[in-house]
A and B are shown apart, each in its own frame.
Chain A
């Protein structure tokens, strides 16, 4: 499939549109100061894999952001490696039948989630990868799995002891 090269006023063909690899399927603006943001109707049979982002906002304090698939409260496994750029502390935040994955972080100056959710809609285990900055000093990267052969159509982002302040959650579908 060629790379799309559209011109102003051009009639877009189905073939041209079908060649677009990443499609914005959901945008949800964060309002107020919630501790947790529930996003419904994000995953469907239209796409197998998804990118989830949270941008343009901030947290009430330096902290981490977690992601839980809606309807799946346990069965999360994975390892999320973090490093303080000053050299200490460095460590691993693990999930062994936990309740969420480590998804991102923020401070009073920013908020960031940039992760991929693999196979959430079909009734197989869902996997997850992420890389993010968190708080004022940490870089975090990791991956995980949710061990249930269950379909999920949405997810919840939570800010731990902090709250979200504005920002936008976006969900993109990868064309198969």
Chain B
């Protein structure tokens, strides 16, 4: 399990390792942001 949390509809729980990998991959595509969001 991850130490990151995901909310799906009304349920909030820890991300699975697969969900964490997908999440990190999603935000990894962000370049040139005003903030460092990675």
Contacts from A to B (Cβ < 8 Å)? 28-40, 62-64, 66, 68, 73, 82, 84, 89, 91-95, 98-100, 102, 105, 134-135, 137-138, 140, 158, 160-164
A164 to B30, CA, bound (A): 19
Query: How many positions in chain B have a CB within 8 Å of any CB in the partner chain?
Result: 25
B30 contacts which chain A residues (CB < 8 A)? 64, 66, 93, 98-100, 102, 160
Q: Name the distance in Å between A32's Cβ and chain B's nearest Cβ.
A: 4
Q: Which residue of A lies closest to B11 (CB)?
A: A31
Do A93 and B31 touch (CB < 8 A)? yes
B5 contacts which chain A residues (CB < 8 A)? 32-35, 163
Do B27 and A66 touch (CB < 8 A)? yes
B15 contacts which chain A residues (CB < 8 A)? 35-36
Do A34 and B34 touch (CB < 8 A)? no
Number of A-B contacts (CB under 8 A): 103
A29 to B28, CA, bound (A): 27
Q: Name the distance in Å between B36's Cβ and chain A's nearest Cβ.
A: 7
Do A28 and B9 touch (CB < 8 A)? yes
Do B37 and A36 touch (CB < 8 A)? no
Do A160 and B35 touch (CB < 8 A)? yes
Do A38 and B7 touch (CB < 8 A)? yes
Q: Is B1 interfacial (CB-CB < 8 Å)? A: no
Count chain B CB atoms within 10 A of each CB in A35, A158, A162 and give the residue with the most: A35
Q: Name the distance in Å between A91's Cβ and chain B's nearest Cβ.
A: 6
Q: Which residue of B lies closest to A138 (CB)?
A: B34
B12 contacts which chain A residues (CB < 8 A)? 31-32, 34
A93 to B36, CA, bound (A): 12
Q: Name the distance in Å between A154's Cβ and chain B's nearest Cβ.
A: 9
